[in-house]
A and B are shown apart, each in its own frame.
Chain A
Amino acid sequence: MSRFGRISVFVLAVVLLSGCTLHLAQSRENNVIDLARYSAIGVGLDKRREVMAALGPPDRVFYGRSILVFDYLWARHRSTDARFFVPSQIIPGFDPLVLLSLPRFFFDLAEHPEEFQPSRIEQLSEAVAGLANSAIPFSEGQDLLIARGYQLRHDRVRIVFDRASLVVQGKSMRFASGEYRIESLANRILLRVD
């Protein structure tokens, strides 16, 4: 085996034995709500028939004493979980922010246009370079660094009808939450960004 081959095998073995893992997950439910069609619904003008023609059958229906409510729902969840076993003595001055770029690499940051967005390759390079130089002495021996991130988004359109099935209210709501977190087994949460 050539010198290069031996080094490659060694590096691969070290990576495998180090227990570094990366897991990505994404789930979606229902079609994206067509907000353009929702915007075309006229309060005081359209009836239940027009609403269902525009948006389809609702995902939830309930009757109040004098109203009828339609809810249209859409949900998406994304998460990353990266784990690294890190020798505890290497270079001091490691900035956990560097690891933050790893979960962010896989997320769409378009919802936060005010944030500086380097290219994905830049983000990944930054994360890998940071990892290579990483680790302040978190504990004796080895420590486990866990970089986690998630984004959760629920969209909901609610249409309220009166007794005559006429639209009396329309509301579009978006619930979004997310968190990026760097944890160390020894020091627990090192960094948390909501």
Chain B
Amino acid sequence: MKNNIIEMTRGFFNITVAVNGEKKELAVRNGEFLLDALRRHGWKGTKKGCDTGDCGSCAVILNGKPVLGCLVPAVAAHDGAITTIEGLGSVREPHPLQAAFVEAGAVQCGFCIPGMILSSKHLLDVTPNPTEAEIRKALDGNLCRCTGYVQQVAAVKNAAKTLAGKGKRA
């Protein structure tokens, strides 16, 4: 790297990025988008749906904001911080949002859920007690073909209450 320029070598750009709090050196292909780069490097919780920026299945949090992984050139994540669904919780220790989605029955096939949960996480980070309109606006780019956008909204409300309770106890 020289003067804020990265040159491609043998079809790859070498970038530095923090994924789920862990600093990584990644080789990303020329023309590759963040969604594909993440999946190729093992973060397969990020889903490939439309690949045109319409469905939101590929949403990840990049530098504090949910973005569409299918529209961000992978090289543009250089020096950035990414949160994928794997960074939130696990089956044994789910994040309150993940637990709330399961408890509310907000998950059917589950394909859209990683993106939906990451959009919800950002919403609750900036708006801890959102209105229904704010939840629906935050999730308007996350399409779900199974459900009717009712239980997901309820799940986000429930998670907000859980997180608020945790904040009070802390």
Q: Do A and B come from one complex?
A: no
> Which residues of B approach A to under 8 Å, CB–CB?
none
